[in-house]
Structure 1
Amino acid sequence: MSDMSRIAIDAMGGDEGLAVMLAGVARARRRDPDMTFLLVGDEAAIRAGLANHPNLSQHSEIVHAPDVIAGDAKPSQAIRRAKTTSMGIAIDCVKQGRAGAAVSAGNTGALMAMAKLSLRTMPGIDRPALAALLPTLGDNDVVVLDLGANTECDARNLVQFAVMGAAYARTTLDLSAPPRVALLNIGSEEQKGTDEIRDAAQMLRAAPHLPMTFTGFVEGDRLSRGEHDVIVCDGFSGNIALKTAEGTARFVADLLKRAFRSSVRSKLGFLISRPATELLRDHLDPNNHNGAVFLGLNGLVVKSHGGANELGIATAIGNAAKMVKADLARRIATDLGNFEAKAAA
């Protein structure tokens, strides 16, 4: 098995500690026995933790890293310590071709800065974007990007995000047709929105050769209806949309808990409706949709939620493995090259 099929794991990142990271890696391998790993971090601690996962030990290599990036570290500080930290070394494993992707649950700003500096952007990509999956009422999740890497974007950036997001959707989602791509806007009418959004829409409408179906504009209240496969926006709007969606999901869950505890009758009602409420909980659980990816770099880096449990870690690793097997970077380069060629013609 080639080195590019390995996944480099920042074993020291995340809020829940090494034990949860290793449990997540082990769970991911049980789902896909072809996986192999580079476990990056304190060698003695990792070796001791692997005693609880003997099967994982046989398919993992430990890469020692003497240092760890703190959760509150500034990106500028993190970059200076890239060569000694578990996060920086995991990314370098991708750069050196020792791994096909890196997964970290550590400091998002530090991870973004290190990944951009080490891997650089792909030819033809002006800015990388952070993409993630959100649950919907449809058969599949929806890809949303950018989620915070770029607070201001021009029309060209948004078009590139659309190309990258569509390639990611074809890789990750179980689609039977080209992905449906929309631009996040304050209205669905063509005259609505900023000049950048309207210009991006015009460019996408003029590119029917791309492997996607451009559906126009979508408003924030339609994000989770399952009507689109990819939703494109600038990082400022995307980050607000993501945090609002996550907060709403927690609000609904907490409201249900309060309602079911309000009286004896409500508690009896909960017992009757428990299968439905558990289905709702599982659907909204961020651990089932975990793993944001930095698209547009010369290598794959996946960001897990810092507080993810072992299920969430396994989900992020599984998404990383899918992208490696599908050669996502090549798909993006091909699609972008076709777009640029047609535009020039």
Structure 2
Amino acid sequence: MTMPRARLTTLALATLAVLLSACSDPEDYANPYDPLNPLTGGSPPNVKVLPGDREATVTWFSLGTTGIRAYRVYRRFEGDPASEFVLAGEEPAVVDDATGRETRGHRYLFVDDNGGAGLENDRVDQFSGQPVPYFYRLAVVDTGGVETPDPAAPPVLTEDSTVYWPFDRVTPSEAPDPPRPEVFVDDLLVLLSWADYEPPGDAALYRVYSSIAVSERAPELHLAAEISIDGTVLADLGNPVDTTGSRQYTDTAFLRDGTTKEYLVTAVDKFGVESSNALDNRYRATVPNLPPKPLAWRIDDITGRAGHFQVQFSWVRSPEQDVAGYNIYAADPSRPTGWRIRKTIRNRSETKFTLTETLFFVPPYFITAFDDTPREDGNFDQEYPPGYVF
């Protein structure tokens, strides 16, 4: 596919800017609001635009600067080749009365819905099929009314100038309906499945958010994974997960029984618009208080003689995160339970032990893994030996 001439020109100029700026004085970058700053042209840095349904949200952060009165947001639609940047609106600066400075770190949010008329949704180029974006850029207005960059003479990246006016772009779109997963729980595992969800034709991926819930209050959720519509795990941002298929997510990042997590699954279309994150789209799941799975163990050797012998045991370390240790049992008909603990090993990493016996016979043995959440009766949470009497 041949790249359009306009895009080639922009790419070439951007490359030139990087090369030239590499030779610039570091002081050129000190003040982002300096109209000669090659990275900003005097506009706020780190501007981000988020697409919505017939609207776009422009966000940026204050730097705690003095002398700023407001910010002006400009918009241009690429769907109209003759269009120019027009004023979309103005956002007053948030100033700390005690210092006279902007409140440092304040996040500005400007929602552009074209004065209530709405922006165009889902526009794509009829030839390339690529999204047709709206471009946004910001200017700063100081307390004297001077605007930087000057919209009447905007900085333009050329071979003679490395200063340009940065922008971000988005294509508005109607948000997909949110998936509503079924929730299944097992030992230290939660499975979310939205197999019945039919994604819209422009859907691109799913996002799974999660967080531990310690009260009835909704916790702040964090992105755990991104899964493409075809099922490929695009990003695993939490602990390791086993995710197979395009419409399910398996969370094994639990350290102990009884842990409750809150989840949100969203769909994202190819324009970057995400389905609702409303509270009624969240789901909670608590992993049950179950014992560790049966342990694979064996007797490797028995040495010595009747009345004094050694039994060498080995086992495969339990992979479960809440395992606290291991119990070695020997059958004992004289005990009410029918078994007695010969050794408790409180080291989940241990995989071998040699037991010394003074019996005149070798009794049946059994080894279990126990976790760090005791049963309600105070006993070990584990798989007990066969025939164990409680």
Q: TM-score, normalised by structure 2?
A: 0.23
Decide which structure has greater strand share: 2
Q: TM-score, normalised by structure 1?
A: 0.26
Decide which structure has greater helix share: 1
Query: Whose relative contact order is higher, 1 or 2, with alpha carbons under 8 Å and at least 6 apart?
Result: 1
